[in-house]
Amino acid sequence: MSEAVIAGTVVFVLASFVGFEVIAKVPPTLHTPLMSGANAISGITIVGAITAASLGSGTTASILGLLAIITATINVVGGFMVTDRMLEMFKRKPSPRSAQDEAGEA
């Protein structure tokens, strides 16, 4: 195996353990935001997409690069934004609004 692959494997295994340790005790209340935030992090592939689009030559490679950038950006931007939207709701203090105030909204 090449040194790069070995180094990559070391990084991968250690990062997985860090992931397990960091996430193992998250309370159920936060499971959905955690998942959608983690999901946004998996959009890190956007970095690869930009690299592939810039280094590639030929129409097929450019199309693949463009598709990769679009889908990765949807993942990143949408993922972080929707997580923030959810967490904003979690943070909000229970309002003393009465039931009637919200009848129109429901």
Partner 1 sequence: MIELSYLAAAVLFIVGLKRLGHPKTARSGNGLAALGMLWAVVVTLIDLGTVSWGIVIVGVVIGAVVGAVLARRVQMTSMPELVAAFNGFGGSASAFVALAETLRADPSTLSVETGITTVFSVVVGSLTLSGSFIAYGKLQGLIAGRPIGFAGTNAINLLVALTTLGVGVWATLAGTMLPYWILAGLGLALGVLAVLPIGGADMPVVISLLNSASGLAASSAGFVIGNSALIIGGALVGAAGLILSVLMSDAMNRSLANVLFSKFGGGDASGPSGDAASVKRATVEDVAIALGYADNVVVVPGYGMAVAQAQHALRDVAQSLEARGVSVTYAIHPVAGRMPGHMNVLLAEADVPYEQLLDLEESNPRFSQTDVVIVVGANDVVNPSARNDAGSPIYGMPILDVDNARTVVVIKRSLSPGFAGIDNPLFYQDNTMMLFADAKVALEGLVRAVANV
Window 8 to 67, contacts with partner 1 (CB under 8 A)? 8, 11-13, 15-20, 22-58, 60-62, 64-67
Q: Could you give the C-alpha distances from 39 to 4, 28, 44, 86, 105, in angstroms and in order?
A: 26, 17, 10, 14, 31
- Could you tell me the smallest distance in angstroms from the CB atom of residue 101 to partner 1? 10
Q: Is 3 in the site for partner 1 (CB under 8 A)?
A: no
| Other beta carbons less than 10 A from residue 23's beta carbon | 12
Q: Is 1 in the site for partner 1 (CB under 8 A)?
A: yes
In the block, tokens 């983690």 appear at 38
- Could you tell me the smallest distance in angstroms from the CB atom of residue 88 to partner 1? 7
3-state secondary structure 66-84: HHHHHHHHHHHHHHHHHHH
- Could you tell me the smallest distance in angstroms from the CB atom of residue 61 to partner 1? 5
Site string for partner 1, 65-104 (x = CB under 8 A): xxxxxxxxxxxxxxxxxxxxxxxxxxxxxxx-xxx--xx-
- Could you tell me the smallest distance in angstroms from the CB atom of residue 9 to partner 1? 8
- Look at phi and psi of residue 10 and say left if phi exceeds 0, alpha if psi is from -120 to 50, else beta: alpha
